Structure 1
């Protein structure tokens, strides 16, 4: 079948709660037995440990000790590279809580692990002790993560290395075999380039694995990560356990992150595996070509208004002004959706190996994880000319990518209240137009930073900056005008440019009225 038919099949299997409840824990129990189950005893040697790790990473897309993904190389923007970082922990780290509160977090998480163990027939010999020791291991593993701010200060965000060097620095992991399992059938060798985000973490992780007295705990930790990754595909008892955990750890807001309505959960799960398919369906539904055309015309008008605004900046010298205009004209503008999602044949090809069964949601999730893994090696072979968006077409979130000098406005933004084909232009420019101008101004961040424009009139620029900082710090609610400066420039400047663009638009287009509001066009804009 087509990718669309498979997405619908997946969604239906998720919605079939009667079937999911009737199967209970058996699908996951069967899977756990394939990786040794909870009660493995002979895990004394590194070979067993690495074989289990290769299975959970390569077959089930689960990353207990480190996360592996493919992304654009920071050293060559046109190529992709394997990137390795610390894992995403389900349990929040100690740094997020004060001493007494953290003990409560440990107690709650331990209770959650025991509940999972009860549901899945967890470790038989003293499960409480097994889970307590595993919790202790997780806590120790979190402590070797280098905080992001420290990595930024020390210039450690990207460290270019090879598998051979990784093997020397973090020898507890069989790196070649693990990466081969993830990227199979692509051949790996010791000279394979890797970008590491936290080398100190990998060293500390390796030492912890080698020195940890009870090797069985390492296995139980891998099983817990696998269960955490796959349990959302199981019956309501698992959903309830996760919801309770989230509520206690993060409060009501955290529990809201887990969808209460089944259709929302199923839509989220389907979108995580079938994003281009859902993207195409939504674009066809909410983003006709005339919407795209009007949005592009509006953006062009905003670009023109910015060109004129640049001519009026007193602090900018002529050479910088021309460079700034070139920045605007060279900007890549993506509106609505990435082009490839409408290339149905290509999308169908991406999902051609996927075989689903409407009766078994759990096995469908496992199958989709396998296809995700297989697609990751294909990404390695692609160059970066086809830019992947950071957001889905249906999201309400625009952004500017410094790396690609590109602005993105997804189709989800071109809906009421931000935009409508029947709205007066004043409303469209005052809403989506301001977002467009805001993102456009992000291209000039460099100029306002210290030393960012050596040929500019720095005193005139500083006077404008100080004025804006003072304005934001004069509001009744507390704002750090210096800390929020770059966003404030984009907000206030974006409003000015969008308004000027609207005025220019009126010279060429007839305006609509909203007679019942009693508001002028300017009032509608603001």
Structure 2
């Protein structure tokens, strides 16, 4: 027994040998003999055992050992064996977990997407901040910030709210930001870096107008020619004010220039309304009567409203009347004088005409009223015949002006119109009559000047930069801090005004209808499932909401019948686009715009608005516009994870806002989820040194619930899509869930009317939703902070 035991033990001599052993001293100890890289670990272990065995046999004097040494060797051997087993078990567990993770990752990534759109998306994702790489910092930064360094700038959402965690110790956290104008920096960064969905759509339309993929129809070529003439600022600057002065002469001259044939007020007004879409004394548009929509009536009416007066107006809540802003009269006067100077008016005459223009504008301003006041007084959608309107406001030839505007439609005195401020219309007629009867002035010269300056305002987009700079200076003096839109955006919007039918068909051709319809249906189905999960205050509220939801038919808002190239060419056959005269092109655009207004009176269906980017309800239909489904927010070749993470979230958020505007008062879940998400946020921000607590308002809790629920709805819809169609591609090797959440992080700062109610960065919702450990591919725990306990699932 003892011999067997000694053979298995390593050589651990504690007594010096009686004789020198030169051969043994020249050999390194077996423990320090390094194995070859190709050797198997089991062979190495056998070698370390074999050498002591041979040595013990060659030295019989070492076989007799004290008992306590043998027990110690047994203990060491036991510990060694136990450690070796533990290490082997650890290696086996690690390899098992690694293989399982690889298996899960392979099952969740499938094949890479290699389309041009995906290649662009891959580059974009690579250059953007990754919420999974820096989870502690990502959600604390302003929306659209590309970097996560202190120098990236920008104001955190919630700054300025008393007690908000991000207001605490701001200078201590980012000392580099001291002395900066944070508000100005924030505005600039948001406008530059955040592409809201409207801007994304306009950029896509820009690409269409600038593309040379195919010649296209004549109508398409004219639309592109109009757009490019708008971009030709050199020709516009060279023309100066001359095109507008020529237009004034065609209309009978102008008293300011000294050459005016004293045209009749109503004849001039009819021309401005018909050919130049200019409405100085009142506004005109076409629309339905909301009182008839409930009965399913599709008839449209001419609607008459108060005008958009050029003079700045403010509402006096004490007198319940509007008035011109006293503090803005001087800059407004300066701008009017500048316009007349640009049009060549002699200084001796311009002051008189500017004075009468401001006086007349002030009188009309007093008669106007803001929308909330008119709503409270029931002044909207007042129905009357044209004949009845003529008796109440006789200064305007209503039938003649309306017939000229909506030519060739036959209008008669018994046709009904809808008014939105009858008291203003009546008072406007009295003011015009008073100015016509003033003997100290040359007949209707002030009224004519008023119409000419309104026409100038209409034509301003087609004039040289001196006019736009004057308008911008006035805007800044009035306190407007928004910058000037880039020229391309201005030109896209102007092109759409006249060539909306052309752009609508071009957009429809490029829209992935099947993929868009699929995501709409899946999101709406997931939305209905979310409603059933809510805890309602009473069953009646649930029944009312569910009845409304069940009756809705969600679909992509497209044109029922796409116009053929021949039809569009015929429609725009009389339009002649000049390459270097944007002014003449713009005049034709205004005429086209007015013709489209006339066509609306007879159309039975709701024409798709290509500039619409939010869903809306029309009867029993929930219509999602085509303008939402454009790159980079959506593309048919993207992995579905990307489309659902971005577009799915936006659609779900819009539906929640549209159908459940006051859900907070109807469901206990809204309060609970809002508080839960907020608790997550406070836990992490307090750990990050941003102490301070304040309670969320009901509106803030609802918005937190809306955005968190929208993310859940989109994710559930995506998972359902995977069940129906298991295969999906990937980008940059990201797993499906991670790609979904990363795609969401690119659009989580989408601007809408409710965005100001969100008390935290929407990207933080990724951290909250990942609190469910089996959902996200990686943990979002802070590396430099330890959490006392796992956060609960909201």
Alignment TM-score, normalising by the size of structure 1: 0.82
CA distance in 1: counterparts of 2:431 and 2:696, whole angstroms: 41
Report the equivalent of 1:119. Answer: 342
CA distance in 1: counterparts of 2:552 and 2:228, whole angstroms: 45
- Assess, with a 3 A threshold, how the Cα gap between structure 1 residues 85 and 485 changes in structure 2: closer, same or farther: farther
Q: Does 1:275 pair with 2:500?
A: yes
Aligned to 1:408, what secondary structure does the other structure show? strand
Paired residues of 2:534 and 2:669 also in contact (CA < 8 A):
no
Which sits farther off after the overlay, 196-205 or 485-494?
Answer: 485-494
1:247, distance to aligned residue in structure 2 (A): 3.4
- Assess, with a 3 A threshold, how the Cα gap between structure 1 residues 352 and 379 changes in structure 2: closer, same or farther: farther
Which sits farther off after the overlay, 429-438 or 210-219?
Answer: 210-219
Aligned to 1:354, what secondary structure does the other structure show? coil
Report the equivalent of 1:109. Answer: 332
Paired residues of 1:299 and 1:436 also in contact (CA < 8 A):
yes
Describe how 1:362-511 pairs up with structure 2 within 5 A: 362-383=583-604, 386-392=605-611, 397-401=613-617, 405-416=621-632, 418-421=633-636, 423-442=638-657, 444-445=659-660, 448=663, 461=666, 463-464=668-669, 467=672, 481-482=697-698, 490-508=706-724, 509-511=726-728
Aligned to 1:186, what secondary structure does the other structure show? coil
Report the equivalent of 1:456. Answer: none
Give CA-to-partner distance per residue, 1:259-285, whole Å, 9 cap, x none. 3x4x4433332222112323434555x
Q: Does 1:82 pair with 2:82?
A: no
Report the equivalent of 1:330. Answer: 552
CA distance in 1: counterparts of 2:696 and 2:246, whole angstroms: 55
Report the equivalent of 1:458. Answer: none
Paired residues of 1:354 and 1:367 also in contact (CA < 8 A):
yes
Report the equivalent of 2:788. Answer: none
Q: Does 1:248 pair with 2:477?
A: yes
Aligned counterpart in structure 1 of residue 403 of structure 2, from 177, 180, 187: 180
- Assess, with a 3 A threshold, how the Cα gap between structure 1 residues 308 and 25 changes in structure 2: closer, same or farther: closer
Give CA-to-partner distance per residue, 1:391-449, whole Å, 9 cap, x none. 52xx6x22223556432233454423x33445544443232112222233345337849
Paired residues of 1:38 and 1:122 also in contact (CA < 8 A):
no
Aligned counterpart in structure 1 of residue 227 of structure 2, from 11, 16, 24: 11
- Assess, with a 3 A threshold, how the Cα gap between structure 1 residues 484 and 196 changes in structure 2: closer, same or farther: farther
Give CA-to-partner distance per residue, 1:162-214, whole Å, 9 cap, x none. 11121122222111111111112222211111011111221221222223445
CA distance in 1: counterparts of 2:342 and 2:719, whole angstroms: 65
Report the equivalent of 2:456. Answer: 227
Paired residues of 2:521 and 2:555 also in contact (CA < 8 A):
no
Describe how 1:89-108 pairs up with structure 2 within 5 A: 89-95=309-315, 102-108=325-331
CA distance in 2: counterparts of 1:88 and 1:135, whole angstroms: 15
Aligned counterpart in structure 2 of residue 301 of structure 1, from 502, 522, 528: 522
CA distance in 2: counterparts of 1:35 and 1:467, whole angstroms: 66
Paired residues of 1:39 and 1:123 also in contact (CA < 8 A):
no
Aligned to 2:264, what secondary structure does the other structure show? helix
Aligned counterpart in structure 1 of residue 491 of structure 2, from 266, 290, 293: 266
1:155, distance to aligned residue in structure 2 (A): 2.6
CA distance in 2: counterparts of 1:483 and 1:89, whole angstroms: 35
Q: Does 1:28 pair with 2:244?
A: yes
Aligned to 2:292, what secondary structure does the other structure show? coil
CA distance in 2: counterparts of 1:24 and 1:220, whole angstroms: 21
Paired residues of 2:237 and 2:465 also in contact (CA < 8 A):
yes
Paired residues of 1:59 and 1:369 also in contact (CA < 8 A):
yes
CA distance in 2: counterparts of 1:298 and 1:252, whole angstroms: 38
Which sits farther off after the overlay, 370-379 or 481-490?
Answer: 481-490
Paired residues of 2:670 and 2:702 also in contact (CA < 8 A):
no
Aligned to 1:398, what secondary structure does the other structure show? coil
Paired residues of 1:307 and 1:325 also in contact (CA < 8 A):
no
CA distance in 1: counterparts of 2:639 and 2:654, whole angstroms: 23
CA distance in 2: counterparts of 1:472 and 1:132, whole angstroms: 59
Describe how 1:126-141 pairs up with structure 2 within 5 A: 126-141=349-364
1:523, distance to aligned residue in structure 2 (A): 4.9
- Assess, with a 3 A threshold, how the Cα gap between structure 1 residues 30 and 319 changes in structure 2: closer, same or farther: closer
- Assess, with a 3 A threshold, how the Cα gap between structure 1 residues 518 and 364 changes in structure 2: closer, same or farther: closer
CA distance in 1: counterparts of 2:289 and 2:336, whole angstroms: 38
Aligned to 1:510, what secondary structure does the other structure show? coil
CA distance in 2: counterparts of 1:490 and 1:354, whole angstroms: 48
CA distance in 1: counterparts of 2:623 and 2:693, whole angstroms: 31
CA distance in 2: counterparts of 1:423 and 1:375, whole angstroms: 37
Aligned to 2:304, what secondary structure does the other structure show? strand
Give CA-to-partner distance per residue, 1:18-47, whole Å, 9 cap, x none. 4434433222112112333331799999x9
CA distance in 2: counterparts of 1:202 and 1:129, whole angstroms: 27
Which consecutive unaligned segments of at least 5 residues does structure 1 have?
451-460
CA distance in 2: counterparts of 1:236 and 1:479, whole angstroms: 50
Which sits farther off after the overlay, 352-361 or 73-82?
Answer: 352-361
Give CA-to-partner distance per residue, 1:225-282, whole Å, 9 cap, x none. 01111132123332333333333334441x424x3x4x44333322221123234345
Alignment TM-score, normalising by the size of structure 2: 0.56
- Assess, with a 3 A threshold, how the Cα gap between structure 1 residues 272 and 515 changes in structure 2: closer, same or farther: closer
How many residues are matched? 499
Paired residues of 2:634 and 2:643 also in contact (CA < 8 A):
yes
1:223, distance to aligned residue in structure 2 (A): 0.6
Report the equivalent of 2:786. Answer: none
Which sits farther off after the overlay, 81-90 or 407-416?
Answer: 407-416
- Assess, with a 3 A threshold, how the Cα gap between structure 1 residues 53 and 361 changes in structure 2: closer, same or farther: same
Report the equivalent of 2:446. Answer: 217
CA distance in 1: counterparts of 2:354 and 2:408, whole angstroms: 36
CA distance in 2: counterparts of 1:449 and 1:523, whole angstroms: 26
Report the equivalent of 1:61. Answer: 277
Q: Does 1:190 pair with 2:190?
A: no
Give CA-to-partner distance per residue, 1:449-489, whole Å, 9 cap, x none. 98xxxxxxxxxx35445557877999989998445687666
CA distance in 1: counterparts of 2:697 and 2:570, whole angstroms: 50
CA distance in 2: counterparts of 1:150 and 1:178, whole angstroms: 28
- Assess, with a 3 A threshold, how the Cα gap between structure 1 residues 28 and 317 changes in structure 2: closer, same or farther: same
Report the equivalent of 1:236. Answer: 465
Paired residues of 2:278 and 2:455 also in contact (CA < 8 A):
yes
